[in-house]
Amino acid sequence: DAGVTQSPTHLIKTRGQQVTLRCSPKSGHDTVSWYQQALGQGPQFIFQYYEEEERQRGNFPDRFSGHQFPNYSSELNVNALLLGDSALYLCASSLGGWDIQYFGAGTRLSVL
């Protein structure tokens, strides 16, 4: 039984570029949440998707957007990258928003 998988593992971009990160949830899960973890900090909630709709959103600008597909996989898009967007981006899946969230290994994004 595959857990949560994220791609790519690492990514290097330059300021102003756009990036797309991908996540496949654990089998049987229908809800995907995204978190940003800066170096030395705890993860910060970006948003959560359920039934292809954004259900909850944290305190992140509109440059951060997402999508959930009918197979429950999800994408995180970040436009107009800033140096401060450099972080580990973690995807978590659950069965419903209230259930235990299981995390993938993350995508490490470096913005130069």
Partner 1 sequence: AQKVTQAQTEISVVEKEDVTLDCVYETRDTTYYLFWYKQPPSGELVFLIRRNSFDEQNEISGRYSWNFQKSTSSFNFTITASQVVDSAVYFCALSEASSGYALNFGKGTSLLVTP
Helix (H, G, I), strand (E, B), or coil: what is residue 57?
Answer: strand
Q: Tokens 């995180």 sit at which residue?
A: 76
Q: Which is nearer to partner 1, 85 or 94 (CB)?
A: 94
Among 20, 44, 65, 79, binds partner 1 (CB under 8 A): 44
Beta bridge partners of 56: 48
Contact 88, 76 (CB under 8 A): no
Other Cβ atoms less than 10 A from the Cβ of 47: the count is: 19
Among 24, 33, 36, 68, binds partner 1 (CB under 8 A): 33
Structure tokens at 69: 């597909």
Among 35, 49, 64, 72, binds partner 1 (CB under 8 A): 35
Q: Which is nearer to partner 1, 67 or 103 (CB)?
A: 103
Pick from 82, 76, 60, 77: nearest CA to 16: 82
Among 18, 105, 110, 112, binds partner 1 (CB under 8 A): 105
Among 19, 74, 106, 111, binds partner 1 (CB under 8 A): 106
> Which residues, numbered 67-96, are part of the site for partner 1 (CB under 8 A)?
88, 90, 92
Is residue 43 close enough to count as binding partner 1 by CB under 8 A? yes
